[in-house]
Structure 1
């Protein structure tokens, strides 16, 4: 007779839970089938990855990097597209770049546009007159680049600018020289300096030799044109017209970033940058500081 304990009928071992009763997996987590080998598991996961959206995302990212690299190479200055853009820009530039600096026409255009806007706004006559007066004041006088500049007026303004120092130094006249040449067509070099030559040569340790034209502080190189203006007085020569193609202020080639303040400097800038015409209406020995008059 067996000595094994007799279990009560209500203590019979419960059967294993069915698949329906098994605990659910966390959302998004797939439980691999039991009994799969590592090779079978890899095949399953690769197949699942291949049909997902992730490969498409990676391909798009790679294409983005590829195209960005190609565009960067093309648009660099040494790339094909960069060279083509440079050539296109060069071809688009005006034949006469000096037209960009045609400030006389620019000033007139600005004035006309402002006046038209005032008139279109239908303001009162008194206000309109005051607005036009203000516009004319801003775009006239020293601020306006003229189409023609008198060489005599320019040099007289230069003398006026240096008159105070000339009085202190007892200078009688500035050093002004005209040098004409026909080597490469008719040209004129106007060199001028506030200090006269005799003062420069007699100043103690200074050189006793005469200064060369290029050693004077300011210079203009002028191309003489065929254009002329009538003589101002009977029996006087006609006024020749020239174009300034090079200029020097205070021993430095004139440039856009120069600090230009005085009226004669503005006139010189108008001749060089604004392509204004120079009226050659004087001689080099016409000028003094006026102390001996």
Structure 2
């Protein structure tokens, strides 16, 4: 017995057994971590939930809104020290699922408002409206500049007659749609552009009642949620309805 124990101790077998046990230990730990009921999986679910708006069903048409999810997850993984092959595989799996569309870097205010006018063209013809009401206000100073874009399908004169407004100037909150832009740069053509930090659609804050049924609404979503920059490349008087 003593000779067998001594021979076994001097052989490679103890090391092989320890190695096998260590491998099994780490395999079991990793399986446990990635279990659907594990802490890591629960954390991933929480982070995805935080990255999504509560009304995600209305955002299906937003080009690459999923980029926000990817960015949030990658940042969390990096903070948690997840690196190497595990991170590569996770990123690859996400990219394979969310690869179809891309949020543009820039969106033209001119094109956005043209799309807005097109949507309301039929109603304008019925009502006899000639122009939408669009106001572009500037604020701030030399260091920080802001642009507020306020727009309604209904002309100002029609709005005032309907609401019996005479002298009072209506406030920004009286407009159905609003974009608040922080100017961050200029294009090669000299147009200002910036980030949209506030938005209102159809009289409600964008995160409260959000229906992306039109092109201009999806563009606002890409600006507000997706981080696209808005190019201020038009004037208030550039838009009219085409009456028959």
Distance 1:112 1:188, change over 3 A: same
Which of 207, 219, 232 is 1:267 aligned to? 219
Which of 94, 104, 111 is 1:153 aligned to? 111
Give me the whole-angstrom Cα distance separating, in 2, the residues matched to 1:177 and 1:211.
Answer: 12
Counterpart check, 1:200 vs 2:152? no
Q: How does 1:93-172 map to 2 (within 5 A)?
A: 103=65, 105=67, 113=96, 139-140=100-101, 144-172=102-130
CA contact (8 A) 1:150 1:281 kept: yes
What is the SS of the residue equivalent to 1:172?
A: coil
Give me the whole-angstrom Cα distance separating, in 2, the residues matched to 1:185 and 1:243.
Answer: 12
Distance 1:146 1:168, change over 3 A: same
Give me the whole-angstrom Cα distance separating, in 2, the residues matched to 1:212 and 1:114.
Answer: 45
Counterpart residue number, 1:244: 196
What is the SS of the residue equivalent to 1:146?
A: coil
Give me the whole-angstrom Cα distance separating, in 1, the residues matched to 2:188 and 2:66.
Answer: 23
Which of 188, 192, 207 is 1:255 aligned to? 207
Give me the whole-angstrom Cα distance separating, in 2, the residues matched to 1:264 and 1:111.
Answer: 28
Computing the radius of gyration over CA atoms, which structure comes out larger, 1 or 2?
Answer: 1
TM-score by length of 2: 0.58
Q: Which runs of 5+ in 2 are unaligned?
A: 1-42, 53-61, 71-91
Counterpart residue number, 1:191: 150
How many Å apart are 1:258 and its aligned residue? 2.2
Distance 1:248 1:170, change over 3 A: same
CA deviation map 1:181-218 (0-9, x unaligned): 11682001000000011111223x63334433321100
CA contact (8 A) 2:135 2:236 kept: yes
CA contact (8 A) 1:177 1:213 kept: no
CA contact (8 A) 1:104 1:147 kept: no
CA contact (8 A) 2:68 2:226 kept: no
Counterpart residue number, 1:224: 183
Counterpart residue number, 1:283: 235
Q: Which runs of 5+ in 1 are unaligned?
A: 1-88, 116-134, 232-237
Say how many residue pairs are matched.
Answer: 165
How many Å apart are 1:111 and its aligned residue? 9.7
Distance 1:256 1:230, change over 3 A: same
Give me the whole-angstrom Cα distance separating, in 1, the residues matched to 2:66 and 2:109.
Answer: 18
RMSD (Å) for aligned C-alpha atoms: 3.5
What is the SS of the residue equivalent to 2:241?
A: coil
With a CA cutoff of 8 Å and minimum separation of 6, indicate the structure with the bigger relative contact order: 2
Give me the whole-angstrom Cα distance separating, in 2, the residues matched to 1:161 and 1:281.
Answer: 20
